[in-house]
């Protein structure tokens, strides 16, 4: 018998999602678009160009990354927690030939997949609005994948530690929201004190922004290997930690 | 070769030794019962046998594989009916089976071919496209049993398979489990329903505080631990029972009192029954002794929480 690995776990989640695909995509699209359009045109009207581009274009790149991050994070926290803790879906799977590595990897790739749908949906809207500049924008797709993977893996760490849904609020208020503000999503980080900008630059969201913003503007990003490397390393290290913590939680 | 062989198994959580040196073997094609009060270590023992947690000491062989090292390979030959239903609420009955088959590496086409017979086995043919939320407790249990059979396992673990079910639903499950046994499957069952164990199990062990305190077939255990006849005497009016017990104690081999009931364990109950015929304010039931009497004798009458 062949060992099926993580794929059936991913497939299970995909099958559930397929039943509610359209409302799910629209729901994931509405919130970031409202912010992007509201801030982009409302606030943007009062702002000069940033780095030679209108504010709405600057913000579009940040929105693609932030909405990828949010989708991956929500899936790896709330949805994975439902499956692990409330529905006991993971327990059921662990009674089969699959192991915990398969389960957690399936969840990682699924959360990344779902965030890919979200990031792509924003990218499509941004393209329709005429904010892309040439075929380099296609390389935004792999950048979305890398960003989604990193945040899925980070979310799974918190999932493994969570006693209840309430616990996830801390993750947003202590990590996600501050990071969004210092990673150059809404404004350039050179507005920040030097030390804070430095911290922000190393956070995974900033790595995604550093890739997506130039690609959207039709330019080749600088330090590609560094940004890709940091995102991949974040994914790998966070996954190993998440797996270990989940093992301690479920298989003690 | 035994379907499951456990020797010297130990597992400790903090200060409490949940499994304290357990050994047993399950022959293929038989139904084996793991009995014990709440907190005796039944579920932990099952988790250890499935490789879901590592033992502190001892050896486990399941389906010819060493556990936990080769647990994932061994589990390909094993079905599990867990204590609490964990069916997938987002799917229909048929989808639950299809998705579960994938976890075993089965092809969708092969599982789809098996689904009608699995649903029929579970008496759920008409519910193929029903959502889980619309099923009764008994239907969910039956679907969980069908799900455990999706990869045609040799060994099926059942953790309290009929807890919370009404009598009709329990009888249907029992009938299906007997069918599985006659089809050559090995069943490993935990329960605290003694009538369930007596009906289904070829052999069983009673565990308490993580230790084995008795082992044998239901009949052997009854013969070894208790007199064959029981007369239960209840106080109907007030207060005549203690005097009756004192006066007739010598008519039984053992007498045990619990609240308003006295249990007389006898080889020959006739003299006692004659005495009861003339007693006022007492009701009685005369029956053959059963596994529950043995169980209570072995594990005591105090509540376990």
Do B74 and B106 belong together in one domain? yes
Contacts A19 to B, Cβ<8 Å: 90
ipTM score for this prediction: 0.92
pLDDT of residue B76: 96
Q: Which residue range is the domain that position B270 belongs to?
A: 227-288
Cβ–Cβ gap A97/B91 under 8 Å: no
Q: Does A18 touch chain B if contact means CB atoms closer than 8 Å?
A: no
CA distance A194 to chain B (A): 49
Distance (Å, rounded) from C-alpha B36 to C-alpha B294? 12
Alpha carbon A42 to chain centroid distance?
A: 26
Do B149 and B30 belong together in one domain? yes
Q: Answer with the one of B184, B202, B222 that is the final residue of a domain.
A: B222
Do B198 and B265 belong together in one domain? no
Is position B300 within any domain?
no
Cβ–Cβ gap A3/B82 under 8 Å: no
Is position B301 within any domain?
no
- The CATH number that applies at residue B101 is 3.40.50.300
Percent helix, strand and coil across chain B, each rounded to 5?
40, 30, 35
B31-64 residues labelled b (16+ CB within 10 A) or e (exposed)? bbbbbbbeebbbbbbbbbbbbbeebeebebbbbe
Is position B263 within any domain?
yes
Cβ–Cβ gap A96/B52 under 8 Å: no
Do B11 and B148 belong together in one domain? yes
Contacts B80 to A, Cβ<8 Å: 95
Please identify among residues 99-138 of chain B the ones whose CB lies closer than 8 Å to any CB of chain A.
99-100, 102-105
Cβ–Cβ gap B105/A87 under 8 Å: no
Contact A96, B103 (CB under 8 A): yes
pLDDT of residue A172: 95
Lay out the sheet containing B282-288: strands in order across: B254-258, B261-266, B229-235, B282-288
Q: Does B86 touch chain A if contact means CB atoms closer than 8 Å?
A: yes
pLDDT of residue B1: 82
Cβ–Cβ gap A2/B105 under 8 Å: yes
| In chain B, beta strands by DSSP E | 4-13, 16-26, 31-35, 57-62, 65-67, 78-81, 155-159, 186-191, 203-208, 211-216, 229-235, 254-258, 261-266, 282-288
Q: Does A164 touch chain B if contact means CB atoms closer than 8 Å?
A: no
Cβ–Cβ gap A97/B104 under 8 Å: yes
Q: Answer with the one of B202, B222, B242 that is the final residue of a domain.
A: B222
**Ranges under pLDDT 50 in chain B:** none
Nearest CA in chain A to B99: A12
Per-residue pLDDT of chain A (252 residues; tens, 9 = 90+): 557 899 999 999 999 999 988 888 888 888 889 988 888 888 888 888 888 889 999 999 999 999 999 999 999 999 999 999 999 999 999 999 999 999 999 999 999 999 999 999 999 999 999 999 999 999 999 999 999 999 999 999 999 999 999 999 999 999 999 999 999 999 999 889 999 999 999 999 999 999 999 999 999 999 999 999 999 999 999 999 999 999 999 998
Is position B33 within any domain?
yes
Is the preceding peptide bond at B139 cis, omega within 30 degrees of 0?
no
pLDDT of residue B236: 80
∠ CA A49-A50-A56, rounded to 5°: 75
Is position B211 within any domain?
yes
Q: Does B84 touch chain A if contact means CB atoms closer than 8 Å?
A: yes
Do B238 and B216 belong together in one domain? no
Contact B122, B142 (CB under 8 A): yes
Distance (Å, rounded) from C-alpha A242 to C-alpha A109? 14
Do B209 and B173 belong together in one domain? yes
Q: Which of A171, A223, A179, A224 is nearest to A204 (CA)?
A: A179
pLDDT of residue B219: 93
Interface test with B, best of A13, A95, A246 (most B CBs within 10 A): A95
Residue B160 dihedral angles phi and psi, to the nearest 5°: 50, 65
pLDDT of residue A47: 86
Distance (Å, rounded) from C-alpha A28 to C-alpha B26? 53
Coil, strand or helix: which one is B91? coil
Do B259 and B119 belong together in one domain? no
Do B17 and B118 belong together in one domain? yes
Distance (Å, rounded) from C-alpha B120 to C-alpha A113? 37
Compare CB distances from B104 to A16, A19, A96 and report the shortest one's residue.
A96
Q: Which of B129, B128, B138 is nearest to B162 (CA)?
A: B138
Compare CB distances from B75 to A87, A88, A97 and report the shortest one's residue.
A97
Cβ–Cβ gap A1/B76 under 8 Å: yes
Distance (Å, rounded) from C-alpha B255 to C-alpha B49? 39
Using H for helix, E for strand and C for coil, what is the string for chain A? Answer: CCCCCCHHHHHHHHHHHHHCHHHHHHHHHHHHHHHHHHHHHHHHHHCCCECCECHHHHHHHHHHHHHHHHHHHHHHHHHHHHHHHHCCHHHHHHCCCCCHHHHHHHHHHHHHHHHHHHHHHHHHHHHHCCCCCCHHHHHHHHHHHHHHHHHHHHHHHHHHHCCCHHHHHHHHHHHHHHHHHHCCCCCCHHHCCHHHHHHHHHCHHHHHHHHHHHHHCCCCCCCHHHHHHHHHHHHHHHHHHHHHHHHHHHCC
The total domain count for chain B is 2
Do B70 and B203 belong together in one domain? yes
Torsion of CA A85, A87, A91, A96, to 10 degrees: -150
Q: Does A222 touch chain B if contact means CB atoms closer than 8 Å?
A: no
- The CATH number that applies at residue B279 is 3.30.70
pLDDT of residue B296: 87
CA distance A171 to chain B (A): 27
Return the residue matching tokens 């059963």. B290
CA distance B216 to chain A (A): 28
Q: Tokens representing B279?
A: 């007693």
pLDDT of residue B305: 61
Do B167 and B74 belong together in one domain? yes
Contacts B50 to A, Cβ<8 Å: 95
Q: Which of A60, A7, A54 is nearest to A32 (CA)?
A: A60
Q: Does A82 touch chain B if contact means CB atoms closer than 8 Å?
A: no
Do B123 and B265 belong together in one domain? no
Is position B299 within any domain?
no
pTM for the predicted model, two decimal places: 0.92
Do B115 and B47 belong together in one domain? yes
């Amino acid at each position: 018998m062949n060992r099926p690995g993580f794929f059936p776990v991913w497939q299970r989640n995909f099958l559930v999602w397929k039943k509610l695909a359209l409302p799910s995509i629209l729901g994931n699209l509405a919130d970031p678009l409202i912010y992007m359009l509201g801030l982009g045109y409302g606030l943007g009207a009062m702002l000069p160009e940033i780095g030679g581009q209108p504010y709405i274009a600057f913000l579009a790149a940040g929105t693609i990354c932030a909405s990828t991050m949010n989708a991956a994070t929500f899936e790896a926290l709330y949805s994975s927690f439902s499956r692990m803790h409330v529905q006991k879906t993971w327990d059921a799977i662990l009674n089969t030939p699959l192991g915990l590595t398969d389960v957690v990897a399936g969840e990682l790739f699924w959360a990344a997949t779902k965030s890919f749908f979200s990031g792509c949906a924003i990218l499509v809207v941004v393209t329709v609005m005429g904010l892309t500049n040439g075929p380099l924008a296609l390389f935004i797709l792999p950048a979305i994948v890398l960003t989604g993977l990193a945040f899925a893996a980070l979310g799974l760490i918190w999932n493994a530690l969570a006693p209840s849904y309430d616990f996830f609020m801390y993750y947003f208020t202590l990590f996600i929201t501050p990071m969004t503000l210092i990673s150059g999503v809404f404004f350039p980080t050179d507005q920040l004190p030097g030390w804070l900008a430095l911290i922000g630059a190393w956070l995974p969201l900033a790595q995604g922004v550093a890739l997506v913003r130039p690609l959207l503007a039709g330019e080749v990003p600088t330090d590609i290997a560094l940004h890709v490397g940091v995102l991949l390393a974040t994914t790998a290290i966070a996954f190993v930690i998440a797996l270990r913590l989940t093992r301690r939680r479920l298989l003690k | 070769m035994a379907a499951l062989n456990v020797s010297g198994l130990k597992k400790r959580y903090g200060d409490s030794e949940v499994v304290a040196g357990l050994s047993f073997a399950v022959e293929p094609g038989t139904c084996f019962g793991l009995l014990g009060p709440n907190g005796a270590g039944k579920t932990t023992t099952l988790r250890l046998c499935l490789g879901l947690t590592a033992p502190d000491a001892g050896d486990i062989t399941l389906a010819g594989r060493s556990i936990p090292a080769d647990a994932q390979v061994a589990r390909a030959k094993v079905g599990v009916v867990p204590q609490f239903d964990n069916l997938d609420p987002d799917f229909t009955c048929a989808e639950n089976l299809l998705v579960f088959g994938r976890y075993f590496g089965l092809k969708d086409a092969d599982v789809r071919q098996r689904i009608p017979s699995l649903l029929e086995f579970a008496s759920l043919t008409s519910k193929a496209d029903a959502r889980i939320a619309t099923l009764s407790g008994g239907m969910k249990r039956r679907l969980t049993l069908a799900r455990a059979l999706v990869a045609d396992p040799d060994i099926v673990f059942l953790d309290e398979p009929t807890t919370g079910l009404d009598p009709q639903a329990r009888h249907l499950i029992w009938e299906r489990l007997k069918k599985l046994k006659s089809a050559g499957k090995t069943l490993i069952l935990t329960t605290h329903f003694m009538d369930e164990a007596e009906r289904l199990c070829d052999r069983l062990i009673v565990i308490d505080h993580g230790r084995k305190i008795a082992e044998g077939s239901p009949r052997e255990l009854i013969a070894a631990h208790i007199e064959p006849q029981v007369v239960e005497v209840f106080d109907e009016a007030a207060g005549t029972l203690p005097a009756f017990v004192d006066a007739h104690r010598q008519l039984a081999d053992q007498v045990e009192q619990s609240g308003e009931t006295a249990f007389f364990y006898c080889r020959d109950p006739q003299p006692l029954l004659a005495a009861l015929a003339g007693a006022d304010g007492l009701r009685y039931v005369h029956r053959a002794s059963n596994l529950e009497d043995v169980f209570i004798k072995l594990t005591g009458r105090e509540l376990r929480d």
